[in-house]
Amino acid sequence: MDRALILLLSGSLLIASARADLQLNPKISEYELDGAKFKQLAFSDGSGKDVTYSPPRGWDYAGSANQLTLRPPNKAQAEAAISRIPLPEPVSFDEKTVKKLVEEAVASVPKGSTNVELVSQEKNPVMIERKETLLVTLTYNFYGHTYGRSILFLNRAKDQIRFQLTCRQTDFKDLQNAFLKSQYSWQNL
C-alpha cells in the first residue's frame, strides 16, 4: 500500500513539474487600477497563477509555446522576441557563464554579417521579479544596413528567458528604451 502511494505521488510530481514550463502563448487579461481598465498579456506556467506582461503600447504580438514575437508599428525590419530556453540546472551570471552568453549573442547575428561589434555587456540593468539579468548589446552590418541587437538574459530555476530586440541602428535607441521599460511589467515570472 505504501509503495503504491509513493508511486502515485511520484507520478503526480512528474506531471506537475512537466506542466510547470512557462508557455508563451498569450491570452488577453484585464485588470483594473484606480477605476481604469487595462489590458495585458497572460501566460500559463502550470502554477495556477498567470504570468503577466504588458508589451510596449501599440506593438503587435504573436506567441507559441517557447517564443513571443513583438513588432513595433511603422518600423521596417524591427522585431523583438521573448523566448524560453530550458536549463539542465540553475545557472548564475558568473564570469564563465557571462563569457559563454556573450559568445552566443555574437554568434546569433545573421550569417554574412560584417563589422560585428560588442557594444556593451551589463549585469542587472533591469531586475525582473528580483531576478538578476545580463544585457548584451551588439551592432553589425547586413546587406548594407547597420543593425543593433540586444539580448537580455534572465535565469529562472529550470529555464532561461531571453528578451531580444533587433532593428536598424537608427531606430535602436528608441525601441530599446521602450522594450526595456516594458520588462518592468512582468508579474509572477
State the Cα–Cα distance between residues 177 and 181, nearest whole angstrom.
6
Domain boundaries, the chain: 57-185
DSSP bridge partners of 167 = 148
- Quick: pLDDT tens for 61-85: 999 999 999 999 999 899 999 999 9
Mean pLDDT of 14-20: 44
Q: What is the pLDDT of residue 76?
A: 84
Sign, CA torsion 155/123/97/103: positive
Mean pLDDT of 33-50: 90
pLDDT value at 38 more than 50? yes
State the Cα–Cα distance between residues 180 and 77, nearest whole angstrom.
19
pLDDT value at 112 more than 70? yes
- Retrieve residue 145's grid coordinates: 544596413
Q: What is the pLDDT of residue 20?
A: 63
- Quick: pLDDT tens for 43-67: 998 888 999 999 999 999 999 999 9
Q: What is the pLDDT of residue 33?
A: 85
Residue 109's pLDDT band, with cuts at 50, 70 and 90, is very high
The C-alpha cell 545557472 sits at: 91
State the Cα–Cα distance between residues 106 and 103, nearest whole angstrom.
5
Instruction: Classify 57-185 by CATH class.
Output: alpha beta
* Mean of the per-residue pLDDT values of the chain: 90
Measured from the Cβ of residue 69, the count of other Cβ atoms closer than 10 Å reads: 17
Cβ atoms of 94 and 102 closer than 8 Å: no
- Quick: pLDDT tens for 133-167: 999 999 999 999 999 999 999 999 899 999 999 99
Q: What is the pLDDT of residue 13?
A: 40
